[in-house]
Amino acid sequence: MSQKKYRRVVLKLSGEALAGAGGFGISPEVLHSVADQIREITQLGVQVAVVVGGGNIWRGASASGEGGMERAHADYMGMIATVLNALALQDALERLDVVTRVQTSIEMRQVAEPYIRRRAMRHLEKGRVVIFAGGTGNPFFTTDTAAALRAAEIEADVILMAKNGVDGVYNADPQKVPTATKYDSLNFMTVLSQGLGVMDATATSLCMDNDIPILVFSITKPGNIRRAVLGEPIGTIVRRDIE
């Protein structure tokens, strides 16, 4: 059996990744593909936590900037959107016989557990997939920051940043600049100083302070999550020091 490189991971899924080609809502095909890839790595013995975004349903920053809505109000709506995605992913996983728990930073006990760090770690130790929804529970923070925060709290080995439409970090937008160069590895200071957009600055700084590597790769190619946890050379690795 192939040897896993990581014992415990946080998989960061954007809402856009769940939307697929449609760009809005939840694609059943993408949802099943992601769930199947998560099932694959649980079979390797990897402990998996997932942080989901909500941009396929609602984007608080856009509603605040373009629509004039109060930012805190718009962000709370975005947090609720992440819960919809989390429940959809939970259903897809459990249809594949993967035992799953959803924990939310905003309590809604009828549909999910409240986030409790020690309970989350116990679920992971028992082989359950834990899906963190609701971001950090606070406005003005992105789900990238939630991923960094939860990774630090549960002592994850790495954050797997699963991207839709891009297979790593480039020095320019590869969709606009055909000659853009892909990085195999980067350090946190380079990401921050050059504004490379791996995560927002708050999340990147939190990962740097807690020495949590970030692996950026494409979610659209089946099997990529498995390749990531096996340590195969895919995507771009961001860490405190590069060899």
Question: What are the residue boundaries of the structural domains of the chain, listed by start?
Answer: 8-239
Angle at 230 between CA 190 and CA 203, to 5 degrees: 35
- Nearest alpha carbon to residue 197 among 236, 156, 150, 149: 236
Specify whether the CB–CB gap between 105 and 132 falls below 8 A: yes
Q: Per the structure block, which two tokens stand in for 157?
A: 């080995």
In the prediction, which pLDDT does 6 show? 96
In the prediction, which pLDDT does 13 show? 95
Q: How far apart are CA 213 and CA 158, in angstroms?
A: 5
* pLDDT string in tens for the chain (243-residue length): 568 899 999 999 999 889 887 778 999 999 999 999 999 999 999 999 999 999 999 876 676 777 788 999 999 999 999 999 999 999 999 999 999 999 999 999 999 999 999 999 999 999 999 999 999 999 999 999 999 999 999 999 999 999 887 889 998 888 888 899 999 999 999 999 998 978 999 999 999 999 999 999 998 888 999 999 999 999 999 998 754
Diameter of the chain measured on Cα atoms: 54
Q: How far apart are CA 165 and CA 114, in angstroms?
A: 33
Binding residues for UMP: 54, 75, 136-143
Q: Does domain 8-239 have CATH number 3.40.1160.10?
A: yes
In the prediction, which pLDDT does 59 show? 77
Binding residues for ATP: 12-15, 55, 59, 164, 170, 173
Residue with tokens 């999910």: 112
Binding residues: 12-15, 54-55, 59, 75, 136-143, 164, 170, 173
Q: Per the structure block, which two tokens stand in for 235?
A: 């995507």
